[in-house]
């Protein structure tokens, strides 16, 4: 690789840093090394209702189908959790539930608490790509974030940004896993990170994420999406199987448990002086929602509450369904008459969507089963 390419690569990385990305690297373009694993994952139906994964699998496995003639991918990462927020982890999920806060509170995953990362990242990636296109008009550039058919974490690992942990997320050795990934695929010649310079797997014998996952959906380096709370609350449009609802606890959009328990997101890791600051755009606007309010929402309430956030992906009925499951789990361990009354009204109202009525009925059954269990105690 000539010095011209090396210098150009360095300039591109510096530009990424000047755009505020916490990490950046160059990945070589090659088909996924895990093609068989991906095909078998899809073949066994673990993607659940995410049918777009089936439809776009071949493009995902071969970046050259995303951008014909691609020679490199500029991969970037935004950090979305500040040091101070990093340790608000739940020692016990029940303890962390809304009961302690005196209200019925449903939690959302950390990445969804601030502004929508799609627009925050895309805007800067477009600026980078426009600048590169102006300098190299004969080359092609195509930006990507998680809505595009690209396996960003594999490219990120190849670009030297980290390793893919047993929970299947990318872990940066200094920053941890609270990262959002994106990049630019290009036909421009850049110098990729050599295989020997990539970050090696530091999971070792650790199994914390596997042990802590509320639905037991992690096996080393694979997640059964059909049981993952992130999938169940965000991607799954239909009823959640009853046997999984209690394990969803108070999560109403996503789940952070496997990241909260990971030692690479630990206090010791965050105390490092050289930890890049989280992007200010992701400063949390909220940690969750009052369940009683959500259960009473209409479309305009949802639109107002979700404006400019990644929560927009959850349709109204689905979000109210999630709130009803969380309400049932909350009522199983605490007393909240207002919530109980709201669930009864929904369950008895034939004009309510079937999805929400079913969730409300289940929540009432869950609450009464627990009441009965409590009544039998000496």
Catalytic sites, residue numbers: 146
**How near is the Cβ of 368 to ligand SF4 at its closest, in Å?**
26
Nearer to ligand SF4, 79 or 346 (CB): 79
Nearer to ligand SF4, 66 or 231 (CB): 231
Nearer to ligand SF4, 70 or 218 (CB): 218
**How near is the Cβ of 251 to ligand SF4 at its closest, in Å?**
8
354 contacts 324 by C-beta, under 8 angstroms: no
C-alpha closest to that of 290 among 316, 331, 323? 323
Reported as type and span, the H/E element at residue 164 is: strand 163-164
Report d(CA 215, CA 197) in Å as an integer. Answer: 36
Q: What is the DSSP letter of 99?
A: G
C-alpha closest to that of 74 among 148, 170, 147, 155? 155
C-alpha closest to that of 249 among 358, 98, 86? 98
Q: What is the DSSP letter of 240?
A: P
Q: Per the structure block, which two tokens stand in for 346?
A: 């929904």
The footprint of ligand SF4 (CB under 6 A) covers 165-167, 203, 206-209, 213-215, 217-218, 223, 228-230, 255, 257-258, 261-264
Nearest residue to ligand SF4 by CB is 165
**How near is the Cβ of 223 to ligand SF4 at its closest, in Å?**
5
C-alpha closest to that of 99 among 347, 321, 348, 367? 367
Nearer to ligand SF4, 53 or 229 (CB): 229
**How near is the Cβ of 16 to ligand SF4 at its closest, in Å?**
25
Q: What is the DSSP letter of 176?
A: B
Report d(CA 271, CA 268) in Å as an integer. Answer: 5
159 contacts 193 by C-beta, under 8 angstroms: yes
229-363-325 Cα angle (round to 5): 20
Which H, E and C letters describe 44-88, residue by residue? CCCCCCCHHHHHCHHHHHCHHHHCCCCCEEEEEEEECCCHHHHCC
Nearer to ligand SF4, 12 or 257 (CB): 257
**How near is the Cβ of 207 to ligand SF4 at its closest, in Å?**
6
**How near is the Cβ of 225 to ligand SF4 at its closest, in Å?**
8
Nearer to ligand SF4, 230 or 295 (CB): 230
Q: What is the DSSP letter of 227?
A: G
């Amino acid at each position: 690789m000539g010095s011209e390419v090396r210098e150009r690569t360095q300039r591109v990385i510096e530009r990424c840093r000047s755009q505020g990305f916490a990490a950046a690297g160059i990945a070589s373009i090659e088909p996924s090394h895990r093609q068989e694993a991906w095909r078998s994952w899809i073949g066994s139906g673990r993607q659940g209702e995410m049918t777009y994964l089936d439809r776009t699998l071949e493009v995902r496995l071969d970046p050259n189908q995303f951008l014909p003639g691609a020679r490199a991918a500029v991969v970037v990462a935004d950090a979305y959790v500040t040091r101070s927020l990093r340790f608000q982890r739940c020692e016990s999920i029940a303890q962390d539930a809304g009961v302690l806060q005196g209200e019925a509170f449903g939690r959302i995953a950390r990445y969804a608490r601030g502004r929508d990362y799609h627009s925050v990242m895309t805007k800067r990636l477009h600026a980078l790509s426009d600048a590169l296109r102006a300098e190299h008009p004969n080359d092609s550039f195509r930006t990507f974030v998680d809505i595009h058919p690209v396996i960003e974490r594999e490219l990120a690992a190849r670009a030297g940004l980290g390793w893919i942990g047993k929970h299947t997320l990318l872990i940066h050795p200094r920053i941890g896993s609270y990262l959002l990934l994106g990049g630019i695929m290009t036909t421009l010649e850049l110098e990729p990170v050599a295989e020997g310079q990539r970050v090696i797997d530091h999971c070792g014998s650790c199994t914390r994420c596997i042990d802590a996952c509320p639905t037991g959906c992690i096996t080393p380096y694979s997640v059964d999406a059909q049981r993952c709370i992130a999938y169940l609350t965000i991607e799954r449009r239909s009823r959640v199987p009853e046997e999984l609802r209690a394990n969803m606890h108070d999560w109403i959009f996503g789940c952070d448990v496997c990241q909260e328990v990971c030692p690479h997101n630990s206090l010791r890791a965050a105390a490092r002086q050289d930890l890049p600051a989280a992007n200010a755009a992701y400063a949390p606007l909220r940690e969750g929602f009052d369940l009683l309010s959500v259960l009473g929402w209409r479309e305009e309430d949802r639109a107002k509450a979700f404006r400019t956030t990644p929560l927009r992906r959850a349709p109204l009925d689905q979000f109210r369904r999630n709130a009803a499951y969380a309400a049932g789990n909350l009522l199983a361990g605490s007393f909240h008459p207002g919530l109980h009354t709201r669930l009864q009204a929904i369950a008895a109202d034939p004009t309510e969507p079937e999805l929400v009525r079913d969730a409300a009925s289940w929540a009432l059954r869950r609450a009464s089963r627990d009441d009965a269990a409590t009544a039998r105690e000496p």
